[in-house]
């Protein structure tokens, strides 16, 4: 396969975009906490600034990085012939869940932009930890390959 010689370059690019995506997934939920606090306190001008920041992080970091992670990851699975390995299937499940979390955070940001708050501040802060937990599981699956 043509890409076999570029395998390590693809791995490097995949890891770089994973870092970008995870950085965005750590930042956006924190932005949501601050945005919601501004709404609760009646600081509309500050809330408007958070709406703008959330839109920028989504369009500049989060979505492009997630797309690159998926494209590069699927390429690695194909080039490396990993499709029959159990750890890859488990990893893909967690990456799919992380992508769902990404979608939830984007949706919550859009609801906050309309002034709709469905979670209290404590619960929103707890949800902030989801990407770290999922990233931990994914890293273990990739490097330890328990099955």
pLDDT per residue over 93-107, tens digit each?
Answer: 999 999 999 999 999
CA atoms within 13 A on the CB side of 117: 18
> What ranges do the domains of the chain cover?
2-144
CA distance 43 to 65: 32
- Do 32 and 94 meet the contact criterion of CB atoms below 8 Å apart? no
According to the annotation, is 91 in a ligand binding site? yes
pLDDT tens figures, 66-91? 999 999 999 999 999 999 999 999 99
Q: Is 14 annotated as a binding residue?
A: yes
pTM for the full model?
Answer: 0.93
């Amino acid at each position: 396969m043509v890409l076999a010689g570029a395998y390590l370059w693809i791995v490097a690019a995949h890891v770089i975009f994973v870092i970008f995506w995870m950085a965005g997934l750590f930042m956006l939920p924190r932005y949501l906490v601050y945005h919601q606090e501004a709404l609760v306190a009646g600081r509309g001008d500050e809330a408007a600034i958070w709406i703008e920041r959330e839109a920028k992080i989504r369009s500049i970091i989060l979505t492009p990085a997630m797309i690159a992670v998926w494209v590069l990851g699927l390429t690695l699975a194909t080039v490396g012939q990993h499709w029959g390995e159990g750890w890859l299937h488990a990893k893909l499940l967690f990456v799919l869940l992380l992508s769902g979390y990404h979608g939830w955070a984007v949706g919550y940001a859009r609801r906050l932009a309309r002034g709709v708050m469905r979670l209290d501040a404590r619960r929103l802060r707890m949800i902030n930890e989801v990407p770290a937990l999922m990233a931990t599981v994914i890293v273990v699956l990739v490097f330890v390959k328990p099955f």
